[in-house]
């Protein structure tokens, strides 16, 4: 008997979780549950991360969290408990599978176009780092982190999962045509890993083109791997292809802890009315059962769900409006009554169980992810971001006055577009400029010399932020401005 942590969630979460656990109990699923305190009501009790210390300790000791939807209080300056949980426990891979469900009518099901897409989304980095600053009263900055080790963790998982589940194609969605450093790194890692899996057809597509293709020919795709924000958007798009978030399971996979959850909202307007659809949480539960090696139980319950849907049984949010809808409890009971029955379409095979007990890790320090450092790393300049409402030439004149003999003023840009030494008066400006200084002849400089330049610049300007200009083995590791 395996023990897991369970958080019922907010809004409709408790009634959905009760329905799913009732189904599991009827199926004699060999799990024990330890209920933990997480969600909005825990925020309201004064816990800023949305979980009690006891809840965190329990989850870290058991290694599995099964959770309902959770709400983050608005206007209180707190982070989403869902994102906090994923990041705290390094559940780096968000796996979401979207399949045609017969009985859930969509444009594609009516057209006879089958959908079976798995989105693997990076879950830790990108803009979800939530590191933001107001540089001026008009300019906000959000930092986007894409790391080589983090990308490697995710992409390695995606290829392993695709191979294990018999996928034929794996596609990297990206925007490296614009974000050449960040998405470029992600794409580089993708193709490096792809070399280890010659049996899989690995390709890539720009994310806007991916979205267009998904809504026109979703049957062309198999496994798609993306960065965090792009993956968030694309996975919700895919949910729309199969009927909505009410049919979208989610698994957050880490090396030590895994979270299985419904990703739809808490629907406070119908909370407590016992009319919500438990399908998404149940589908997420199947992923959890398979993760724990409970293949036979997962297949039996999933076949009962598919049979129930094929029979036209539905809750109020989908299905034939001319037939009565069932409430949450009745829908769960209908699934239980269909145990042992097989759907016409795509019945799940009864694969023998291979029990997996979550490993209990006793870590005494934070794992450090670091790839091999490149040789000959050098600093050849600095980018300074200043606040000013002056015209570009005036700023250039002042910068040239402060420039040390070892530096040259290379470029001034505004919102990423070059405005000096060349530009256009038709370029609208905001009160924050990007000033680039490079060393003469690209000879290495020291941070002390950069600090001296900084001290001179702050005589005229507020310097909001700085970034070093590095080269690794002679290759520049920074982007150019638009028009440079």
pLDDT in tens, 240-257: 999 999 999 999 999 999
CB contact set of 183 (below 8 Å; sequence gap of 6+): 146, 174, 175, 176, 227
User: Please, which contacts does 357-361 make with residues 24 or more away whose CB atoms are closer than 8 Å?
Assistant: 357/2, 357/292, 358/2, 358/4, 358/62, 358/63, 358/64, 358/258, 358/292, 359/63, 359/256, 360/61, 360/62, 360/63, 361/63, 361/256
DSSP helix, strand, coil percent of the chain (3-state; round to 5): 35, 25, 40
Query: 68 in a domain, yes or no?
Result: yes
Of 259, 252, 306, the closest CA to residue 279 belongs to: 306
Residues 104, 345: contact at Cβ < 8 Å? no
Regarding whether 232 and 131 lie in a shared domain, the answer is yes
Regarding whether 218 and 111 lie in a shared domain, the answer is yes
- Per-residue pLDDT, averaged over 122-147, amounts to 93
- As a three-state string, the secondary structure of 449-460 is HHHHHHHHHCCC
Q: How far is CA 6 from CA 37, 92, 292, 402, 478, in A?
A: 9, 20, 15, 61, 45
Regarding whether 204 and 163 lie in a shared domain, the answer is yes
Q: Torsion over CA of 240, 244, 245 and 249, rounded to 10 degrees? A: -80
pLDDT in tens, 151-167: 999 999 999 999 999 99
Query: Does the pLDDT value for residue 360 go beyond 80?
Result: no
Q: Angle at which helices 447-457 and 392-402 pack, to 10 degrees?
A: 130
Query: 457 in a domain, yes or no?
Result: yes
Regarding whether 401 and 343 lie in a shared domain, the answer is no
Regarding whether 162 and 263 lie in a shared domain, the answer is no
Regarding whether 85 and 117 lie in a shared domain, the answer is no
Q: Which of 208, 242, 276 delimits the end of a domain? A: 242
Query: 226 in a domain, yes or no?
Result: yes
> What element of type H or E holds 93?
strand 93-99
Query: 174 in a domain, yes or no?
Result: yes
Confidence band of 42 (pLDDT split at 50, 70, 90): confident
**Which CATH number is 417's domain given?**
3.30.70.1570
> What element of type H or E holds 20?
helix 13-26
What three-state secondary structure class fits 215?
helix
Residue 482: per-residue pLDDT: 65
Regarding whether 233 and 271 lie in a shared domain, the answer is no
pLDDT in tens, 75-117: 556 678 888 899 889 999 999 999 999 999 999 999 999 999 9
- Per-residue pLDDT, averaged over 57-83, amounts to 85
Query: 308 in a domain, yes or no?
Result: no
Q: Structural domain tally of the chain? A: 3
- In 177-297 the beta strands, taken as DSSP E runs, fall at 201-206, 223-226, 249-253, 258-262
Phi and psi angles of residue 356, each rounded to the nearest 5 degrees, phi first:
-125, 120
**Which CATH number is 169's domain given?**
3.40.718.10
Residue 133: count of CB within 10 angstroms of its CB: 11
Edge-to-edge strands of the sheet including 407-414? 417-420, 407-414, 432-439, 377-387, 462-472, 475-476
Residue 76: per-residue pLDDT: 59
Strand 223-226 with 2-7, pairing: unpaired
Residue 357: per-residue pLDDT: 57
Nearest-Å Rg of the Cα atoms of the chain is 26
pTM over 0.85: yes
Average pLDDT along the chain: 93
pLDDT in tens, 188-200: 999 999 999 999 9
Q: If you average pLDDT over each of 49-58, 343-352, 382-391, which comes out highest? A: 382-391
Q: Which domain holds residue 398?
A: 377-476
Regarding whether 429 and 343 lie in a shared domain, the answer is no
Regarding whether 228 and 276 lie in a shared domain, the answer is no
Q: Which of 242, 272, 303 delimits the end of a domain? A: 242
> What element of type H or E holds 86?
helix 81-88
Regarding whether 399 and 368 lie in a shared domain, the answer is no
Query: 33 in a domain, yes or no?
Result: yes
Residue 123: per-residue pLDDT: 95
Confidence band of 479 (pLDDT split at 50, 70, 90): confident
Query: 154 in a domain, yes or no?
Result: yes
Query: 296 in a domain, yes or no?
Result: no
The residue behind tokens 């001179």 is: 456
Q: Is 257 exposed, middle or buried (0-12, 13-18, 19+ CB in 10 A)?
A: buried
Regarding whether 127 and 210 lie in a shared domain, the answer is yes
Residue 20: per-residue pLDDT: 98
Q: Which of 372, 389, 409 delimits the end of a domain? A: 372
The conformation of residue 2, written as its DSSP 8-state character, comes to: E
Regarding whether 357 and 264 lie in a shared domain, the answer is yes
Q: How far is CA 149 from CA 225, 369, 421, 424, in A?
A: 16, 6, 38, 41
Q: How far is CA 216 from CA 115, 221, 236, 418, in A?
A: 12, 11, 16, 38
């Amino acid at each position: 008997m395996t023990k897991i942590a369970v958080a019922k969630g907010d809004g409709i979460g408790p009634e959905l979780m009760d329905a799913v656990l009732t189904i599991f109990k009827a199926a004699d699923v060999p799990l024990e549950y330890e209920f933990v305190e997480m969600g909005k009501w825990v925020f309201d009790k004064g816990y800023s991360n949305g979980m009690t210390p006891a809840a965190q300790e329990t989850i870290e000791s058991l290694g599995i969290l099964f959770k309902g939807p959770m709400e983050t209080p608005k206007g209180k300056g707190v982070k989403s408990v869902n994102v906090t949980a994923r990041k705290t426990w390094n559940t780096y891979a968000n796996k979401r599978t979207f399949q045609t469900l017969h009985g859930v009518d969509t444009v594609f099901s009516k057209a006879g176009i089958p959908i079976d897409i798995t989105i693997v989304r990076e879950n830790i980095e990108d803009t979800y780092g939530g590191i933001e600053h107001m540089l001026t009263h008009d300019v906000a900055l959000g930092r986007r982190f894409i790391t080589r080790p983090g990308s490697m963790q995710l992409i390695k998982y995606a290829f392993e999962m695709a191979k294990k589940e018999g996928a034929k194609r794996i596609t990297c969605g990206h925007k490296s045509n614009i974000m050449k450093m960040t998405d470029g790194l992600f794409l580089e890692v993708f193709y490096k890993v792809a070399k280890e899996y010659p049996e899989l057809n690995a390709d890539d597509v720009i994310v806007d083109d991916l979205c267009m293709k998904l809504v026109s020919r979703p049957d062309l795709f198999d496994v798609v791997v993306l960065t965090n924000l792009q993956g968030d958007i694309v996975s919700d798009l895919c949910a729309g292809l199969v009927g909505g978030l009410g049919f979208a399971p989610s698994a957050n996979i880490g090396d030590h802890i895994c979270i299985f959850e419904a990703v739809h909202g808490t629907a406070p307007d119908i909370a407590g009315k016992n009319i919500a659809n438990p399908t998404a949480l149940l589908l997420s539960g199947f992923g959890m059962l398979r993760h724990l090696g409970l293949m036979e139980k997962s297949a039996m319950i999933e076949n009962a769900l598919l049979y129930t849907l094929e029979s036209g049984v539905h809750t109020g949010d989908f299905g034939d409006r001319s037939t009565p809808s069932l409430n949450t409890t009745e829908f769960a009971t209908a699934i239980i009554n269909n145990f042992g029955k097989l759907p016409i379409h795509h019945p799940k095979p009864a694969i023998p169980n291979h029990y997996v007990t979550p490993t209990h890790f006793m870590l005494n320090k934070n794992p450090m992810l670091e790839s091999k450092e490149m040789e000959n790393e050098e600093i050849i300049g600095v980018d300074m971001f200043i606040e000013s409402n002056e015209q570009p030439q005036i700023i250039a004149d002042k910068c040239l006055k402060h420039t040390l003999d070892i530096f040259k003023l290379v470029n001034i840009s505004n919102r990423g577009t070059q405005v000096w030494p060349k530009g256009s008066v038709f370029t609208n400006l905001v009160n924050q400029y990007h000033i680039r200084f490079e060393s003469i002849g690209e000879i290495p400089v020291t941070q002390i010399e950069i600090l001296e330049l900084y001290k001179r610049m702050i005589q005229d300007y507020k310097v909001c932020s700085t970034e070093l200009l590095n080269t690794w083995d002679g290759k520049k590791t920074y982007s150019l401005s638009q028009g440079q």
